[in-house]
Every structure is written in structure tokens, then in C-alpha cells.
């Protein structure tokens, strides 16, 4: 089975879609890295106050919630 994406790079909208397709792997890796940075901050930064920890946990949950809203499962990519 093959899939071929074709873009008319003279059309600005299609050129933008092409750019998004080409950068999709980089975007996924970036999102995965941000998710891991949240995890590491929460799990390993023993200098956080309780309020700071709560803030990081809330931010992480918001990030994961946004991924979920867009049906992005980083483990599937």
C-alpha cells in the first residue's frame, strides 16, 4: 500500500500545508519533549514548593488535556 501527498507549491495555502506535512515529525518530537520535561520537573525537582508543584501539575494536565482535545496520542506516533 502506498500513499502519495501532492501539493501545488505555487498556491500559498498548499505551500503552507506542505510545510506542515514536512515538519510533522519535528512537531511530534517537540510535543513529546515538552511532555517529558513536565514529567521530569514534577518527579525529580525536589526544590519545588507545594504551590509550585501544584502549578506544574496543573500546567501538565492542561497540556495533556489539549493534546487529548486534538486526538493527539504521542504514544501512537
In a domain, 10, yes or no: no
In a domain, 17, yes or no: no
Q: How much is the pLDDT for 12?
A: 98
Tens-digit pLDDT profile for residues 27-73:
999 999 999 999 999 999 999 999 999 999 999 999 999 999 999 99
Instruction: Work out how many domains the chain is built from and give that number.
Output: 1
In a domain, 15, yes or no: no
Answer yes or no: are the C-beta atoms of 7 and 15 closer than 8 Å.
yes
In a domain, 8, yes or no: no
In a domain, 1, yes or no: no
Indicate yes or no: pTM above 0.85.
no
pLDDT higher than threshold 90 for residue 11 = yes
CA distance 19 to 41: 32
Answer yes or no: are the C-beta atoms of 58 and 41 closer than 8 Å.
no
Q: Residue 77: which pLDDT band, with cuts at 50, 70 and 90?
A: confident
Amino acid at each position: 500500500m502506498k500513499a502519495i501527498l501532492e501539493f501545488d507549491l505555487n498556491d500559498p495555502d498548499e505551500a503552507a500545508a506542505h510545510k506542515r506535512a514536512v515538519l510533522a515529525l519535528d512537531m511530534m518530537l517537540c510535543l513529546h519533549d515538552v511532555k517529558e520535561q513536565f514529567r521530569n520537573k514534577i518527579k525529580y525537582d525536589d526544590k519545588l514548593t507545594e504551590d509550585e508543584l501544584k502549578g506544574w501539575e496543573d500546567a501538565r494536565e492542561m497540556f495533556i488535556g489539549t493534546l487529548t482535545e486534538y486526538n493527539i496520542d504521542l504514544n501512537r506516533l
